[in-house]
Amino acid sequence: MNRLCLSVALLVLLGTLGVSALKVTTHKSKINAPSQASHPLYCQAPPPIHMQTRYYFNPSAKLCLPFTYCQSAEYKNNFLTKDECVKTCAEI
């Protein structure tokens, strides 16, 4: 999962850089082009990528272990802090 998050982040960064370079090279040719005011500004924003260290409970090891969270799918075994994980899962 960690490699997936890094790959997505790299693709977004490269895509953003490519779009920026394209805008610079084509800006002069678009002086008389129609306005793009019909599109909201957020349409040009890159997708949000929120990579955070979070913790999950590993029942085999009976420990809360860190993982990189990519805010893609919600599931319950996902805690902001190790203390929260321990209080919820390890003290059963």
Burial 47-85 (b: 16+ CB within 10 A, else e): eeeeeeebbbbeeeeeebeebebbeeeeeeebbeebeeb
What pLDDT sits at residue 41? 66
- Of the two residues 80 and 72, the one the predictor is more confident about is 80
Least confident of 6-15, 37-46, 60-69: 6-15
Residue 70 reports pLDDT greater than 70: yes
Domain boundaries, the chain: 2-90
pLDDT at position 14 over 80: no
Among all chains, which residue has been given the structure tokens 């090891």?
Answer: 61
Helix and strand counts by DSSP (H, E) for the chain:
2, 2
Class of 2-90 per CATH? few secondary structures
Contact 57, 66 (CB under 8 A): no
d(CA 90, CA 63): 7
The whole-number pLDDT of residue 51 equals: 79
For the cut 90, the answer to whether the pLDDT of residue 20 exceeds it is no
Which token pair is 41? 């500004």
